[in-house]
Amino acid sequence: MTLNDLFETIKARKTADPTDSWTAQLLAMGPEKCAEKFGEEAVEAIIEAVKGDQTALTSEAADVLYHLLVMLASRDVELTDVLDELAARQSRSGIAEKASR
C-alpha cells in the first residue's frame, strides 16, 4: 500500500458510518481532534526516537503518517498538493528554503 492508496481510503471514510470505522470516527470529531491526534502521535514518535527503539519508532512513524493524512483529509488538503510542495522545494537548499519562510 502506498501513501496515495492510504489517503484515498481515508478520504472515502469521510462519508462512512463512524460506528464501522475508526477513521470515520476520527473525521467525524472534526479537524481540531484530528490535529490533536496527529500531535499526540508525533510526540510518541519523538519519544521512541530519543529512546532508540527502532521497532517502536517504526510503529509510531506509521501512526504519524496515518494521522497526518487524516488531518489533511479533515481540512480537504490533497496529498498531491503536499507532494508538489516537496517537489518544488527539492530545487532549493534547505537553508535557503527555510530563510524564505
Per the CB < 8 A criterion, the answer to whether 41 and 59 are in contact is: no
pLDDT of 99 higher than 80: no
Portion of the chain with pLDDT greater than 90, in percent: 85
Q: What is the pLDDT of residue 59?
A: 98
* 92 has a pLDDT exceeding 80: no
pLDDT in tens, 34-83: 999 999 999 999 999 999 999 999 999 999 999 999 999 999 999 999 99
Using CA atoms, how far apart are residues 36 and 77, in angstroms rounded to an integer? 17
Distance CA 78, CA 73 (A): 7
Give the pLDDT band (50/70/90) at residue 101: low
pLDDT at 5: 96
